A and B are shown apart, each in its own frame.
Chain A
Amino acid sequence: MNRKPLIVRSGMTRRQFLARSGALGAAGLSLPALLAACGGGGGDAYDVFFENWPLYIDPTEGETIGTIDRFAEATGLTMKYTEAYNDNNEYFAKIQPVLGAGKTIDPDIIAPTSWMAGRLINLGWTEKLPLADIPNVANLDDGFKNPTWDPTGEYSLPWQAGMAGIAYNSDAAGREIKSVADLFDPAFKGKIGMLSEMRDTIGLILMGEGIDPSTISTFEEAAPAFEKLEKAKADGQIRAFTGNDYTDDLLAGNFAACIGWSGDLFQLETESEAVKFVIPEEGGTRWADVMVIPKGAKNIANAAAWMNFVYDPEQAAQLTTYNMYVSPVKGVREIIAASDPDLAENPLVFPDEATSSRLRAFAQLSDEEEAKFDEAFSAITGA
């Protein structure tokens, strides 16, 4: 019989234990020094702090100099740029206790999506832009002047814009998809993806029902779209409500069709012949990520210098060449046409008249109505 001994020796003498813990301690003490050496400077001194979405600015690599470095060369100001803005609601939850209590947050510029910017502006948590110091604001494309989220145009300037439409995998779908109604085709049961972004999903469905989302102001007006979506979900038509992560499923064919964003689709179309993007016949939604200055920011003049810099058509062209979203600056198309005519003709980056006329921005809702919309939408997405 194999009985285990009642007392088990650890097998280490006191001398060995002391020796080993001494070695460990010495290693531990030298660790910070090693980390500091390879971590690099990155100190605390900066002239302006911009917190933005990921993959939204061209880096410096090889021979191309990124926008931030060109800004430093042109104006002598150092910019601290972080990509910590991942989700509007998540970021809002972070800044709400700070700005709500009247304190200030670190970034001098943030780039929320237009509806979130509208919410911040209505709550009084943003500073007025010193437009006198931003002469390049004259280059702002007419389509973005006095938008629904910032009627006076004094609090925000768009960073990049985009469109939401239908992205589909022609192999998985088996046919062309042209309208919102196709998303509700029973042949695609369980293979449709929709966005967890309420305004894009409900916006497209509203247009499918013939309702213009840029003119609604109450929940009752949008109720038909919510009912349709609820029914589709209960029937199992919708496979998932996704954030940015629809791209893998679309490539793999898990989704026959889904609602997607134009910038993502640019990359996807190069990866797969089967993936296509289309603005539906009934219309698509237009959105923008806009730069706002949070209340109490310390470096407002430097922030203005940055905005002036990126509204120069040359700089804006380089930005757009990298991130493939729609630029809000006039004259970018001509500059790009000179070096890359294909890109200048790409409908995802430079939509033509026919497409632009079908795009609508979702109306800015009041707080109470927005709460109703959000509640109804989250009841459907089940989250």
Chain B
Amino acid sequence: MSLVEAPAQRSRLGSSADRVGLAALLIATVCLVAIGGKWVSGPLTSVVVLVLLAVIVGVIVLAWRGGTEARRLLAPYGLLKPGMLWLGLFFLAPLWSLLRISLSTKESRFDINYNFSWAFENYQTAFTEFGGQFSRAFLYAGIATVLTILIGYPLAYVIAFRGGKYKNVLLGLVVVPFFTSYLIRTIAWSTILSDEGVVVSFVKGLGLVPVLEALQIMDNGRLLNTPAAVIGGLTYNFLPFMLLPIYVSLEKIDIGLVNAANDLYSTNSAAFRKVVFPLSMPGVFAGTLLTFIPAAGDFVNAQFLGNPNTTMIGNSIQDQFLRQNNYPVASAMAAVLMVSIAALVLLYTRLFGTEDLA
């Protein structure tokens, strides 16, 4: 009898606890966004703070008084609270500010007050004037991502399957250069690729300059300040972000599966194609996201390794914010970048699936 009754009772308690927990979470988040996004000001702010505290304390009291069952059901919401509150204050509130400013105008560049006026012309400006930078950013980031897969996958494979006791050392060697600052690594590349530097002298010595110029990698006998240098910089800087997720997913593959394939008359390369590679796809998927998204918004590589014709959208957004003091258009550009990347990621997810990201 208890087996039949208990589940119904539990689900009633469960759904009301769910409602309470969810409501508390939402109210707390909205309070924080209100404070951070300046929806309220003056004495109203203290009211909102009180509501926030009341909700947090209220949930704790409910869990305390309610008994073990209520505690167990409310626990997930309690555990989610710190994360959601952090996101609310430091992500959602600034996002709200950004969207609001992107639809506002300012009297003069040096004003600090905005007039919110559904100014969609900011978005129009963002598309028409900076279309080139957007497409270049996605192109360079896309090529860099493909290159990191081509370089990172074999490396991860060797470390995972042939590393043996040197696995950690090898992984450490991959990661050690990244103890230095991102900026310094990029500037170091501009020294390595310089006109009198190692790489160009080597290429000239081998007489490969005409070949590389035909491939559009070199320009007028130089490697620095070309699109190839920018893409190279992006590839180098984001290689660990691709390699480590692929390594993690390759490491979990049981080598016994390959042996089983061999037992079933498969060659090693077919075993790789049909067994190992599909199992490692989640790692490639995660690595792609971790590489493409930051690379699309990057501005450091284009600044140090590129020329005025290779600027990316990150450079333009930085310029609009810091030099032109044109916050409305800059916010519109940032919003467009976010939405385009989100759209691309959704499309990618549809195509490749996320059932097994772990």
Which residues of A approach B to under 8 Å, CB–CB?
A: 1-3, 89-90, 92-93, 96-97, 100-101, 119, 123, 189-190, 233-234, 236, 238-241, 252-254, 367-368, 371, 374-375, 378-383
Whether the Cβ atoms of A97 and B112 lie closer than 8 Å is yes
Q: List 24 A-B contacts (CB under 8 A).
A: A2-B255, A92-B325, A93-B321, A93-B325, A100-B112, A101-B112, A236-B307, A236-B309, A239-B225, A239-B307, A240-B308, A241-B308, A253-B195, A254-B195, A371-B109, A374-B324, A375-B324, A378-B320, A381-B319, A382-B309, A383-B311, A383-B315, A383-B319, A383-B323
For window 196-254 of chain B, which residues contact chain A by CB distance below 8 Å? 196, 219-220, 222, 224-225, 254
For window 304-323 of chain B, which residues contact chain A by CB distance below 8 Å? 307-311, 315-316, 318-323
- C-alpha spacing A378/B109, complex, angstroms: 15
Whether the Cβ atoms of B196 and A240 lie closer than 8 Å is no
For window 269-297 of chain B, which residues contact chain A by CB distance below 8 Å? none
Contact bitstring B60-89, A, C-beta under 8 A = 1, else 0:
000000000000000000000000000000
Q: How far is the CB of A91 from chain B (nearest CB, A)?
A: 10
- C-alpha spacing A18/B253, complex, angstroms: 36
Query: Which residues of chain A are within 8 angstroms of B325 by Cβ–Cβ distance?
Result: 92-93, 96
Whether the Cβ atoms of A90 and B309 lie closer than 8 Å is no
Q: How far is the CB of B274 from chain A (nearest CB, A)?
A: 20
- C-alpha spacing A327/B133, complex, angstroms: 43
Query: Which residues of chain A are within 8 angstroms of B309 by Cβ–Cβ distance?
Result: 233-234, 236, 382
Residue among A2, A96, A123, A382 making CB contact with B311, cutoff 8 Å? A382
Query: Which residues of chain B are within 8 angstroms of A234 by Cβ–Cβ distance?
Result: 309
Residues of chain B at interface, number, CB under 8 A: 36
Q: How far is the CB of B131 from chain A (nearest CB, A)?
A: 12
- Interface core residue of A93, A233, A240, A381 (most chain B CB under 10 Å): A240
Whether the Cβ atoms of B256 and A1 lie closer than 8 Å is yes
- C-alpha spacing A1/B320, complex, angstroms: 60
Q: How far is the CB of B168 from chain A (nearest CB, A)?
A: 14
- C-alpha spacing A368/B110, complex, angstroms: 11
Residue among B109, B196, B311, B324 making CB contact with A252, cutoff 8 Å? B196
Whether the Cβ atoms of A240 and B109 lie closer than 8 Å is no
Q: Does B355 touch A at the CB level, under 8 Å?
A: no
Whether the Cβ atoms of B308 and A378 lie closer than 8 Å is no
In the complex, the chain A residue whose C-beta lies closest to that of B225 is A239
Whether the Cβ atoms of B110 and A367 lie closer than 8 Å is yes
- C-alpha spacing A167/B133, complex, angstroms: 31
- C-alpha spacing A123/B111, complex, angstroms: 10
In the complex, the chain A residue whose C-beta lies closest to that of B197 is A252
Known: A238-B308, A239-B225, A240-B225. Contact between A189 and B322, CB under 8 A?
A: no
Query: Which residues of chain B are within 8 angstroms of A97 by Cβ–Cβ distance?
Result: 112
Whether the Cβ atoms of B219 and A190 lie closer than 8 Å is yes
Known: A1-B256, A254-B194, A378-B323. Contact between A383 and B112, CB under 8 A?
A: no
Q: Known A-B contacts: A378-B323, A383-B319. Give 4 more (CB < 8 A).
A: A236-B220, A240-B308, A381-B308, A382-B311
In the complex, the chain B residue whose C-beta lies closest to that of A198 is B323
For the complex of A and B, the 4 pairs showing the least CB-CB separation, nearest first, are: A382-B311, A383-B319, A100-B112, A382-B308
Q: Does B356 touch A at the CB level, under 8 Å?
A: no
Q: How far is the CB of A298 from chain B (nearest CB, A)?
A: 23
Query: Which residues of chain B are within 8 angstroms of A375 by Cβ–Cβ distance?
Result: 324, 326
Query: Which residues of chain A are within 8 angstroms of B9 by Cβ–Cβ distance?
Result: none
- Interface core residue of A92, A101, A190 (most chain B CB under 10 Å): A190
Q: How far is the CB of B326 from chain A (nearest CB, A)?
A: 8
- C-alpha spacing A3/B252, complex, angstroms: 11
Contact bitstring B108-129, A, C-beta under 8 A = 1, else 0:
1111100000000000000001
Residue among A2, A89, A252, A379 making CB contact with B129, cutoff 8 Å? A379
Whether the Cβ atoms of A96 and B195 lie closer than 8 Å is no
Known: A100-B111, A383-B311. Contact between A371 and B324, CB under 8 A?
A: yes
Query: Which residues of chain B are within 8 angstroms of A241 by Cβ–Cβ distance?
Result: 308
Q: How far is the CB of B166 from chain A (nearest CB, A)?
A: 15
In the complex, the chain B residue whose C-beta lies closest to that of A378 is B319
Known: A241-B308, A374-B323, A378-B323. Contact between A189 and B315, CB under 8 A?
A: no
Whether the Cβ atoms of A123 and B110 lie closer than 8 Å is yes
- C-alpha spacing A371/B109, complex, angstroms: 8
Known: A97-B112, A190-B220, A367-B109. Contact between A253 and B308, CB under 8 A?
A: no
Whether the Cβ atoms of B220 and A367 lie closer than 8 Å is no
Whether the Cβ atoms of A96 and B315 lie closer than 8 Å is no
Residue among B108, B129, B255, B324 making CB contact with A367, cutoff 8 Å? B108
Query: Which residues of chain B are within 8 angstroms of A378 by Cβ–Cβ distance?
Result: 319-320, 323-324
Query: Which residues of chain B are within 8 angstroms of A367 by Cβ–Cβ distance?
Result: 108-110
Known: A253-B195, A367-B108. Contact between A238 and B322, CB under 8 A?
A: no
Query: Which residues of chain B are within 8 angstroms of A3 by Cβ–Cβ distance?
Result: 254, 256
Known: A240-B225, A383-B316. Contact between A89 and B112, CB under 8 A?
A: no
Whether the Cβ atoms of A96 and B112 lie closer than 8 Å is yes
- C-alpha spacing A190/B310, complex, angstroms: 14
- Interface core residue of B108, B225, B315, B321 (most chain A CB under 10 Å): B225
- C-alpha spacing A233/B196, complex, angstroms: 24
Query: Which residues of chain B are within 8 angstroms of A119 by Cβ–Cβ distance?
Result: 110
- Interface core residue of B109, B219, B222 (most chain A CB under 10 Å): B109
- C-alpha spacing A367/B111, complex, angstroms: 11
Known: A254-B194, A371-B324. Contact between A100 and B110, CB under 8 A?
A: yes
- C-alpha spacing A1/B259, complex, angstroms: 10
For window 327-350 of chain B, which residues contact chain A by CB distance below 8 Å? none
Q: How far is the CB of A187 from chain B (nearest CB, A)?
A: 11
Whether the Cβ atoms of B322 and A89 lie closer than 8 Å is yes
Whether the Cβ atoms of A252 and B194 lie closer than 8 Å is yes
Query: Which residues of chain B are within 8 angstroms of A252 by Cβ–Cβ distance?
Result: 194-196
In the complex, the chain A residue whose C-beta lies closest to that of B329 is A375
In the complex, the chain A residue whose C-beta lies closest to that of B315 is A383
In the complex, the chain B residue whose C-beta lies closest to that of A97 is B112
